[in-house]
Every structure is written in structure tokens, then in C-alpha cells.
Structure 1
């Protein structure tokens, strides 16, 4: 139950720049909660460290999917749902679509199978709007390598073919959920992507609070 809150998620392949944009967006809004997955609260941050640890190369794909769902559940119950019930705008850096694209499609577990795991975790609470930052995998990887301050995690070390499959997975999700997911070209400058994202939010969320 969202009550009067608005739930907006931000998705995209690694290196798309979504974290930069979501931080800029948060500064434009009142009564907003900015959070991320996996993480956002202590239990989920602990799970995040296990999932993304570069030493955990032996992790099974199903284990990975289950850990993401577990972190998501705790984050949702402890942080996201209470904020929505208070009428806040919740901006979340990644949500269930990441699991569908990364584990469901790129890992080959099946989108429907991974969604079933997450359906149990989220209890039908889906975003009002998902903004997908689209970028060529080659450009995304180049950005990661140039950003010395960015956290380099286990998924960043996957080969180019994996990152291409992630993008294909997101493209399939856009076809499946065209009313919810809006594509943003993330290959432009930060200012261009930021302005395009604001325009999407103004156009798609009718009752969103005024942006400055």
C-alpha cells in the first residue's frame, strides 16, 4: 500500500551514470527519500557486501538471486514502505528490474523464475515509474575504468558479453512494461541526461511536487 507516496526507481547497466543523476534529482525535490539497492539499511548493506565482494567468485547464480531478494525485502519493509506511507517521494537506485535483467536474463535463470522469487519479497509493491538509463556496454565499461572514485564490485568484473546481455534484458523489460519504464539516452552529458530525466518525471508523475 503506497498511501500518498510516489515510488520512482532508477535502472541501467553498469556505467550508465544513474547514481549521479539520482543524486541531482533528489536535490530538486521536497519531502524525498533517496536510497539504493542492495543496501539502504544495515542488514541489506551487510548482504550487499557479500554479493558484491570481488572474492566471492564461487557464488552460485541462484544464491545471488536469493540474496538480492532477501536484501530487497528487508529494505522495503524497514525503509521504503514507511516512507511511502508518510507520503514521501522515494527515489531508489535499482529495484526488482535489476534482478530480472542481471540474474533473470544475463545469468540465464529466467525472468519469470526470478520474478517469482521477488514477488514473494515485494508483495506486489511495484514502482509508479521506472527510469531506465540506456547506454552501450562498451561506453559504460569505459566510464567505470575512468572513474577512480567509483566502487568496483564483482559484477563490474564480468566480461563484455555479460554486460551486453544485461542491456538486452532491460530492453525486454521495456517491452514488457511500457507504461512503467521510460528510456533515457545516458550517452550524453550529465546536464543533458539530468534535464531529460526531469522532463520525464514532470510528464509522467501528474501529482509530483513542483520541481525547482
Structure 2
């Protein structure tokens, strides 16, 4: 079962993934960007280099996604495979940056993933106050430096894309307790 944990920065994805990994040591845990050697280099560029071209940023995400699919997803499709972010985030960031349509992004991601969509998406939705508080507790990377309004726009763009994807999705309120969220995920996935 291939599951994407999606949402903007500081929404709680990584915390929930750590809880599942502790309960299911057999699970394959990965992330985008960064789940492969190429992905680590791409992540460094994306978070630190502050690319001027948003098209270059999109293409780097797509290149990482294609490599990640080939190296991590396809060989582990029969296992519990959880990715900290994936193509939905890519779509949200690209739409927030402008210059490309949702239909084009779906087609590009379909190409990068060889048409192999995840089985489920776990989507963490947060609000401005929670985002502001959590971002204040850490140092900002290059994408977080774009600001709270930008991140909330990315979140809205991800939510707008979900119905067009027709992938079973659990939408969670990231303001709820860690334990409540965890129980909802475990129940939803049946793990």
C-alpha cells in the first residue's frame, strides 16, 4: 500500500510518520524530495539555492519524482510504503507559483509516476495561527521564507487538486492532538 502524507510545512506529517514507523518497522519510509541520492541533492538545491525560475523548480521536483518512483516506489509497491510528501505537494507549490495549469501538472506527474498513483493520501490541513506558531519554533528554509500567505496558498491549491485526482483521501485537522490524529490514520488505513 503506497500512501502519501501531504500538507504544508509544520503540519505534523513527519511526527505521524515516525509513530507509524515505530509501530510498523517493516514499513518503507521515504520522502520527496530526498528519498534517493539524487533526491538529496535536489532537496538541497530546492531548499537552499532559491532558484529564480519557477519552471526550473518544477522540473527539478519532477525529475526527483521520476527517480524516486523508479528507485523506491515501484520496487516496494507490495509493502507498506509511506512517503513524506509527493506529487500533491508538487502540484500545490507549482499552482501557487503560477504559470501552469492543474491539468498540465496532472499530466506531468502522471508521466513522472508512470501512471502509478498512490493508493491513499493523508492530507493535513492547518490554519494560520498554528502555522505561525510552529514556524516560529524553527529556522526557516528557502521555501518557508516565502511566507505564511504563500504556504496557505499552497495548502489551498493542494485541496483544490484533490477532487480532480480521485484518490482516496483522509483530510485531517492538524490542530488536533497527536494521539487523535494518529488513531484516525491507523483506523483509516487499517494498519
TM-score for both structures, normalised by structure 1: 0.83
Moved over 6 A (4+): none
Distance 1:132 1:139, change over 3 A: same
Moved more, 155-164 or 174-183: 174-183
What's 1:66 paired with? 59
Superposition deviation, residue 30 in structure 1: 5.3
SS in 1 for 2:34: coil
What is the CA–CA distance in structure 2 between the aligned matches of 1:172 and 1:58, rounded to whole Å? 26
SS in 1 for 2:23: coil
Alignment RMSD, CA only?
A: 1.7
What's 2:76 paired with? 83
What is the CA–CA distance in structure 2 between the aligned matches of 1:154 and 1:135, rounded to whole Å? 20
What's 1:40 paired with? 35
SS in 2 for 1:132: strand
Superposition deviation, residue 123 in structure 1: 0.8
Equivalent in 160, 166, 169 of residue 172 of structure 1? 160
What is the CA–CA distance in structure 2 between the aligned matches of 1:147 and 1:162, rounded to whole Å? 18
Count of residues in Structure 1 that have an aligned counterpart in Structure 2? 190
Query: What pairs up with 1:122-141 in 2 under 5 angstroms?
Result: 122-141=113-132
1:107 aligns with 2:97: yes
TM-score for both structures, normalised by structure 2: 0.92
Superposition deviation, residue 164 in structure 1: 2.0
Superposition deviation, residue 199 in structure 1: 1.7
What is the CA–CA distance in structure 2 between the aligned matches of 1:110 and 1:135, rounded to whole Å? 24
Question: Runs of 5+ in structure 1 lacking a partner?
Answer: 1-5, 203-210
What's 1:200 paired with? 188
